[in-house]
A and B are shown apart, each in its own frame.
Chain A
């Protein structure tokens, strides 16, 4: 119940963000937000009833893909409703919550040496850069761009 409420509140915040930032009115956003909330909750519930541990992200992605794919009844409506929700409007609340959680790690950060900070930046760069580079090379070989 707690999770349902949390999802709906985050959805409400994203709906307001979608209005202020991207000019999509609340009535227009509402179906898309509710559909996203439903898919997310189904994914979370499904992960819980499975007898083995699995990443919730996989199931939510999968259900969202199925619900908007041509095989699913009403897929065109679902896809169009969700398309009204700007991706960035959903991302801003994530980083707002992230910001509000930062304070708890500041005292831990003071204990770290500058070396690990440098290594962290190199690690972040490495994963982004290598994946981008590898993807670029494959697309180039395939002649896609």
Chain B
């Protein structure tokens, strides 16, 4: 919080300009054959913001980018307040979907491991795979891993890798995924809305945004159920991560690594050695 005042205002002004321009452009839907991709203001804002902050242009200083990341966290809180205000008037509806809320949370928790760990081991990752796949690896999860294994551990390297990818293209990816799953016709918008509450502000905003564009008639429901699922995640998330997800991933790693893992250890530092 040592950023000078002037550069914080520069960020707010840039965001104001981005919001004004992108909201003016509005929503577009593009059919790409395998499904519909929703393009909407927040995605343009993300991409244009990324271009503005591209290091080569030297338009923003590193500390301004860090300040933007902090303000991003604060702006998510207003979004959360809106989601909560959407739930209040229909509280009984929340109790009516208690079971699915609980069960979908299990899906959020095991989903990263069930899909991620086998792939990570198959690609030849070693202990990095534990940190990389035990959770979505946002800030709190990163802190848990560093606390347990140390900042220079293989586990922390894996977690940091997924964290960086999440920051850079998690939101874009989630919005494409939400668009494709939404237009596939396999799932009800309410189930997708719960799925969208992945525990990361930007990813959740992008995923719920896509769903709202794909299912304009269900916008209220989407806000309601993603809000409820997100609340569930924020209540149980950290504890489950420490006491369930991490031990579970470590145990599975012990079982699966000898079966799927590759003989030649390769590490996440491979950027310098290979590809």
Contacts and interface: CB of A to CB of B under 8 A. Distances in A.
Contact of A120 (B65, B71, B132, B178): B132
Contacts of A56: 77
Interface residues of B, number: 139
B133 interface: yes
Contacts of A112: 161, 164-165, 268, 271
Contact of B88 (A65, A119, A124): A65
Interface string A107-125: 1111111111111111111
B99 A97 contact: no
A60 B187 CA distance: 30
B112 A123 contact: yes
Contact of A116 (B46, B106, B165, B181): B165
Nearest to A131: B107
B8 to A, nearest CB: 8
Contacts of B274: 113-114
Nearest to B45: A96
A97 B206 CA distance: 13
A55 interface: yes
B12 A95 contact: no
Interface in B80-136: 80-89, 91, 97, 99-101, 103-116, 119-120, 123-125, 128-129, 132-133, 136
A44 to B, nearest CB: 7
Contact of A98 (B79, B171, B198): B171
B46 to A, nearest CB: 4
A138 B84 contact: no
A142 to B, nearest CB: 7
Contacts of A89: 23
Contacts of A36: 78, 81-82, 85
Interface residues of A, number: 100
Interface stretch (B29-37, B144-152, B228-236, B251-259): B228-236
B66 A101 contact: yes
Given A78-B85, A127-B107, 7 more contacts: A97-B11, A102-B49, A116-B158, A124-B166, A124-B177, A126-B115, A138-B104
Interface of B: 1, 8, 11-12, 14-16, 18-20, 22-24, 26, 40-43, 45-55, 60, 62, 64-66, 68-69, 71-72, 74-89, 91, 97, 99-101, 103-116, 119-120, 123-125, 128-129, 132-133, 136-137, 158, 160-162, 164-168, 170-171, 173-174, 177-178, 181, 187-188, 190-192, 194-199, 201-203, 205-209, 212, 219, 223, 227, 229-231, 234-235, 237-238, 266-272, 274-275
> What are the nearest 10 A-B pairs in CB distance?
A99-B49, A64-B84, A68-B88, A130-B111, A132-B195, A126-B115, A21-B23, A113-B270, A103-B53, A134-B107
29 contacts: A3-B74, A6-B74, A9-B12, A21-B26, A21-B41, A56-B77, A57-B230, A60-B84, A64-B83, A66-B88, A85-B82, A92-B23, A92-B45, A96-B19, A96-B48, A97-B15, A97-B72, A98-B68, A98-B167, A101-B49, A108-B160, A114-B270, A116-B128, A118-B123, A124-B173, A125-B115, A126-B116, A131-B111, A131-B195
